[in-house]
Amino acid sequence: MLNSFTQHSSSYRDPSGFIFEKDGTLYRQVNISFKENFDFFIESGCYRQLTEKGLLIRHEQINENLTGEDNYYTTLKPEKISLISYPYEWSFDMLKDAALLTLRLAREAMDYGMVLKDATPYNIQWHQGKLIFIDTLSFEKFNEEPWIAYRQFCENFLGPLLIMHYSKMSLSQLQLAWPDGIPLTIIKSLLPKRSRFSFHTYLHIHLHAKVSASRKNSRVARQQFSKQKMLNLISSLEILVNKLKIPVRQTSWSGYYEEASQRKDYLEQKKKIIHEWLNEIDDVKIAADLGANEGEFSQLLSSKNVQTVAADFDPYCINRLYLSIKKSGEKNIQPIILDLSMPSPAIGVNNEERNSFLNRTHMDLVLALALVHHLAIGKNIPLKLAASFFQQMSKYLIIEFVPKADEKIQLMLSGKKDIYEEYDEKHFEQAFEKYYTIRNKQLIEGSLRVLYLLVKL
């Protein structure tokens, strides 16, 4: 059909427009109902200012009705995002910076007589080394009314950050339990009593929850809300968010590279082999480093100008990596929190609104270094299931096999019964050869560990 297109499964809530795919390209349709706001957004200079500052995704405007729908006004072709990630895959400081970006956009929009009507973390993605806002249709004219997205901001950003701040724990999975935001009443119940003595916390959570509950079953008259009141609200939220932090927590994985570097020249030998293999395969543009820790090998991929997703289940490692990337200006590495034994699932309407990690991940190469034994012995995942998982992600796989005789596995087995009769090199190769050919195989000198370069059948 001439106007055949696929509307994105997560783009159904906003009558202003929607995301759709046509002929393999992603577009955004602006509906006629949003014409006045969209034209004002462009003509006021707001769009130009936000994109020039790198706060908002750029788009190309296409004056063609690609969907054939009657409510069409114009079509936008936004810059491509390499990988969509979700807030339950972000570390504390990623969510904090996303909150501050949202508030900055709200403040900057006010300078152009506009207001940010949405304050959800799903409108923020990782692009070219930093967080960026991607919903062009979230800006509308300011009509001196209370901020419509205030509660959404508190439930999606402020609440989770406060819970982590007071508990001193990284709890990103809370946002998987409440993907549309943690209700104010629950946030309030999870915060300690002393949080009431913080003026801004009391105002935006405790008092906010109380007022919202009292208004739940009653009609509220529309109130006038001046520009200055809006700016004061934003300032108060910025002050509070900027104060929030979690401690630098040391975990069992925090000193991994330091410990590994003390095993003769194991780390350097591994880097040398992988560097040589990367030179042999020149069609790798995007990769995933699974079990990335603090990104040592992600940096190796980045040096080859490969866009790299650095994933690890340890939120503190990922947070340190994020802060390091932020400080250095590294543009090729995107950190995310991911437990490979239960990767992010598909959730939302029809289980399609937010795609699973595997459905979002289409890589040229995956690195799985010093990882498989943690899945096979640490999580009791058979090698054949691990192989099936990896083959869904990429063409090339560089994977490290750690034999039972290795001291790390012996340490793992010291506290449990050895029931892993099929965990050996022979069964490893049999499991992976169902999906891959072995292009290269090399023992890492000074260790019992073996690196494999595999190519999918």
pLDDT at 274: 95
Residues 6+ apart with CB under 8 A from 376: 382, 383, 386, 420, 423
Same domain, 374 and 316: yes
The number of residues making up the chain comes to 457
Residue 249 has pLDDT above 80, yes or no: no
pLDDT tier at 214, thresholds 50, 70, 90: confident
**Phi-psi label, residue 253: left if phi above 0, alpha if psi -120 to 50, beta otherwise:** alpha
On whether both 236 and 276 belong to a single domain, the answer is: no
- Considering the domain architecture, whether residues 70 and 104 belong to the same structural domain is answered as no
Residue 271 is assigned to a structural domain of this protein: yes
Q: Is the pLDDT of residue 227 over 70?
A: yes
Q: Kindly state whether residues 413 and 445 are assigned to the same domain.
A: yes
Domain that holds residue 30: 6-78
Do residues 340 and 422 both lie within one domain? yes
429 in a domain, yes or no?
A: yes
Contact 65, 86 (CB under 8 A): no
Assess if residue 17 is contained within a domain: yes
Whether residue 5 is predicted with pLDDT greater than 70 in this model: the reply is yes
Window from 24-28, 216-220, 303-307 with minimum mean pLDDT: 216-220
Is 409 part of any domain?
yes
Instruction: Check residue 294 and give left, alpha or beta (phi > 0: left; psi -120 to 50: alpha).
Output: alpha
Do 291 and 317 fall within a single domain? yes
E strand or H helix at 127: strand 124-127
Question: Closest by alpha carbon to 78, among 155, 21, 142?
Answer: 21
Residue 223 and residue 166 in one domain: yes
How many C-alpha atoms does 399 have within 13 Å on its Cβ side? 31
CATH number reported for the structural domain that contains residue 441 in this entry: 3.40.50.150
Q: Which of 318, 323, 163, 179 is nearest to 244 (CA)?
A: 163
In a domain, 1, yes or no: no
* Closest among 52, 55, 74, 50 to 63, alpha carbons compared: 74
Q: How far apart are CA 333 and CA 322, in angstroms?
A: 9
Nearest to 74 by CA among 113, 16, 25: 16
Of 243, 274, 301, the domain-final residue: 243
Whether pTM exceeds 0.85: yes
Quote the percentage of the chain above a pLDDT of 70. 94
Calpha distance 137→91 (Å, rounded): 27
Amino acid at residue number 139: F
SS3 6: strand
Nearest to 171 by CA among 186, 185, 150: 186
Both structure tokens of 17: 């427009």
Say if 347 falls within a structural domain.
yes
Q: What is the DSSP letter of 347?
A: B
**Domain boundary, last residue among 78, 96, 114:** 78
Average pLDDT over all residues of the chain: 92
Of the pLDDT bands very low, low, confident and very high (cuts 50, 70, 90), residue 32 is: very high
Q: In this structure, are 446 and 400 located in the same domain?
A: yes
Phi, psi of 86 (to 5 degrees): -120, 160
DSSP string across 161-207: HHHHHHHTS--TTHHHHSTT---HHHHHHHS-GGGGGSHHHIIIIII
Whether the predicted pLDDT of 1 surpasses 50: no
The pLDDT score that the predictor gives to residue 265 is 85
Are 231 and 270 found together in one domain? Answer: no
Can you tell me whether residue 61 is helix, strand or coil?
strand
Give the pLDDT of residue 223. 77
In tens, the pLDDT along 330-381 reads 999 999 999 999 999 999 999 999 999 999 988 999 999 999 999 999 999 9
Tell me the C-alpha distance between 414 and 404, whole Å: 12
More confident residue, 372 or 255: 372
Using 50, 70 and 90 to split pLDDT, how confident is the model at 258? Answer: low
Total number of domains in the chain: 3
pLDDT tens digits for 35-73? 999 999 999 999 999 999 999 999 999 989 999 999 999
Assigned domain for 308 exists: yes
Largest Cα–Cα separation, the chain:
75
- What is the mean pLDDT of the segment spanning 241-247? 95
Last residue of a domain, which of 209, 243, 277? 243
* Contacts for 70 with CB less than 8 Å, ≥ 6 apart: none
The answer to whether position 249 is within a domain reads no
- Do 281 and 317 sit in the same domain of this protein? yes
If we measure between CA atoms, which residue out of 276, 315, 275, 309 comes closest to residue 295?
A: 309
The answer on 232 and 212 residing in a single domain is yes
Clarify whether residues 55 and 163 are in a common domain: no
